[in-house]
Amino acid sequence: MPHLHVKRGLDLAISGMPQGPIRSWFSPARIALDFKAFRGTRIKLLVKIGQDVLLGEPLAEDRDFPGRFFPSPTTGRVLSIAREEKRALRHICITRADREKPFPHQPPNWKTSSRQTLVDFLLKSGLFCHIRQRPFGMLANPEAMPKSIFVKAIETAPFTPKASLQMQGHEEAISLGLTILTRLTDGFVHVIQNSNDAPLKEIDRVQLHTIAGPHPAGNASTHIHFIDPILHENHIIWTLNILDVMTIGYQFLQNRYFTDRIISIAGPGFSKTKRGFYRAQCGLSIEDLCQGNPPFHLISGNPLTGWQVKPQDFLGFDHTVLSGFPENKKRRIFSFLWPWRQTTDISNSTRIWGEKRAFVDGAPYDQVMPLDISTELLLKAVITKNDDLADELGLLEVASEDFALPAFVCPSKIEMIEIMQNALIRRAFNHT
């Protein structure tokens, strides 16, 4: 089993880490399908307010790839449909029914079905929206043949539940999901685990890897860079996490769209009794998760790559963390002398240290970037839209999440994640 060791990176020292055993969550009254994770995708609405829907029933469709659907995370009635600027879909909220009833997607016999039959089923059942593609990190093109498929079974981002917690008791679904993925590529399915976790069952054409080191050792870009680096635009790689594999496996095992998750509530904005791990569903209401007076700053997802939300919002499509931070109203006098400068929570450190200005020093970026790229030069090429130079500097290998740590240590407070996300969306549309 090949082993990778990441030396460059940073494990943030943040107070409010989730601890303790997994607790059960109450049955939620509302569940939503949040579309912010699909930024850059043109989406067509298929339902209306007041319509009854089943678990796994199509709620929306990809305009650029008709037939790729986004499934309902629960059985119930459509309560509201929220939109953003230019009427882009934000989320579809559903009042949850007392009894869960799945939409009747009949899976094909995966042992005898052709690759195209499997792809067609993944599209119509909504499972294909769980598969991303490199370069550019957008939803995978179902018409493309990936050179390889990467599955990350490791989480190193702050507050995120370990992949081993998500995998407990789901070994059969994981094995079947990985087996089906091997039918979708001519290459290998690479599974990357924490070096301390028990290895998964060996499967033909599934290569198991272990990795150790600080964050971002759990990012897909890190794995691709060292195992199967992307050399040109037509070098296609698909990426999933272990929850996505479980979702595919359960659809073939039980003909049911899998929405169970282990989520964490963490951060200094929550009390010690509230922080911890919970067995729940995806798409939960932020208000339900807070249950009372919410912290001043709420983030759906981990503090590095998540986005700020309000109590009336919902947990992101692929998020398993709700982070909370208190308000930091003012600077301390002579704050540079205080010893908590290196271990304070993010809400304090990002507000107190640094200011908006031009690039000052690119050295700190490369100290936390494990990929062999020049972070500052790549960002400058992206900002100036010099696509050829950006490709040479490593744009084809990265996703926006890879710039979370460089943005955190940036003395200029440059919004690197947003810059890279906009650039990757633009390049993806130009490429298609």
Chosen CATH of 261-325 out of 3.10.20, 1.10.8, 2.30.29, 1.10.1740: 3.10.20
Q: How far apart are CA 262 and CA 279, in angstroms?
A: 5
CATH 3.10.20 segments of the chain: 261-325
Model pLDDT, residue 328: 64
Model pLDDT, residue 359: 77
Say what percent of the chain tops pLDDT 70. Answer: 93
Q: How far apart are CA 73 and CA 319, in angstroms?
A: 14
| pLDDT tens per residue, range 156-199 | 999 999 999 999 999 999 999 999 999 999 999 999 999 889 88
**180 membership: H or E segment, kind and range:** helix 171-182
Q: Which of 56, 51, 49, 52 is nearest to 73 (CA)?
A: 56
| pLDDT tens per residue, range 114-163 | 999 999 999 999 999 999 999 999 999 999 999 999 999 999 999 999 99
Q: How confident is the model at residue 336 (pLDDT cuts 50, 70, 90)?
A: very low
SS3 115: helix
Alpha helix (H) residue ranges in 291-415: 346-352, 363-367, 375-383, 387-393, 404-409
Per mean pLDDT, which range of 255-259, 317-321, 355-359, 375-379 is the poorest?
355-359
What average pLDDT does the segment 351-368 reach? 73
DSSP state of 331: P
Q: How confident is the model at residue 327 (pLDDT cuts 50, 70, 90)?
A: confident
| pLDDT tens per residue, range 69-90 | 999 999 999 999 999 888 899 9
Model pLDDT, residue 358: 74
Model pLDDT, residue 421: 96
Q: How far apart are CA 70 and CA 67, in angstroms?
A: 10
Residue 316 has pLDDT above 70, yes or no: yes
- CB count within 10 Å of CB 432 equals 10
238 in Cβ contact with 145 (< 8 Å) = no
Q: How far apart are CA 51 and CA 311, in angstroms?
A: 25
pTM: 0.93
Q: How confident is the model at residue 339 (pLDDT cuts 50, 70, 90)?
A: very low
